[in-house]
Amino acid sequence: MTQEISAIYPGSFDPVTNGHLDIVERGRSIFDRVVVAVSVNQDKNPLFTIEERIEMLRDVTRQWDNVEIDQFDGLLVDYATSRGASVILRGIRAVTDFDYEFQMALMNRRLAGSIETVFLVPAEAYEYLSSSLVKEVASLGGTVSGLLPLLVEELLSAKLEALTDADKEL
């Protein structure tokens, strides 16, 4: 019997976009299991709570039986080892991602030589898509349809509305 390969797909997913899902879908067709792991300590000022981000991810990956959603704290390689994963999956977009991603991949290899980082490229339509850009455009009233799952789009607009209302009350 060949050994099953699990991949960890780490990130802040604040919120999950169609670009993230594109990578999950490609990853799940290569590896036996993909664990989407939301980083607890990465982003100091997220728009969505960790619970909200996890719930959205669970909702939009429900149809994929070899995809699991989890959260992690501390060193990614320690988490990957604890999950028995031998692969760190990352999505790579335009050239701007390379420098940071190379640094991370080499540092993680230094920390845990048996874990390989695998980069996947999304469909062209998502090449310039990021959670932060989506949040910026949506907060300025621009349309982000087609860039996010419908449920996430609705939750994003509700969240931004709630924030605007809270601002008005100050």
Among residues 23, 85, 144, 155, the one that binds ligand ADP under rule CB under 6 A: 23
- How far apart, in whole angstroms, are the C-alpha atoms of residue 42 and residue 2? 35
* Residue 131 is a catalytic residue: yes
In whole angstroms, the minimum distance from the beta carbon of 165 to ligand ADP comes to: 27
Is 159 one of the catalytic residues?
no
Taking alpha carbons only, the member of 166, 141, 130, 162 closest to residue 52 is 162
What is the C-alpha to C-alpha distance for residues 130 and 22, in angstroms, rounded to an integer? 13
116 binds ligand ADP (CB under 6 A): no
Integer Cα distance of 88 and 64 in angstroms: 19
Any catalytic annotation for residue 62?
no
- Based on the shown chain and the rule CB under 6 A, indicate whether residue 56 belongs to the binding site for ligand ADP: no
> Contact at 8 Å (CB) between 153 and 144?
yes
The C-alpha atoms of residue 149 and residue 156 are separated, in whole angstroms, by 11
Verify binding: residue 149, ligand ADP, rule CB under 6 A.
Answer: no
Contact 23, 93 (CB under 8 A): no
44 is catalytic: yes
Angle among Cα 17, 24, 134 to the nearest 5 degrees reads 10
In the list 8, 11, 35, 56, the residue contacting ligand ADP (rule: CB under 6 A) is 11
Q: Is 20 in the site for ligand ADP (CB under 6 A)?
A: yes
Minimal distance, residue 17 CB to ligand ADP, in Å: 6
Q: Which is nearer to ligand ADP, 133 or 150 (CB)?
A: 133
* CB 126 within 8 Å of CB 22: yes
91 contributes a contact to ligand ADP by CB under 6 A: yes
Residues that bind ligand ADP (CB under 6 A): 11-13, 17, 19-20, 23, 42, 90-91, 93, 97, 122, 126, 129-131
Q: Which are the catalytic amino acids?
A: 20, 44, 93, 131
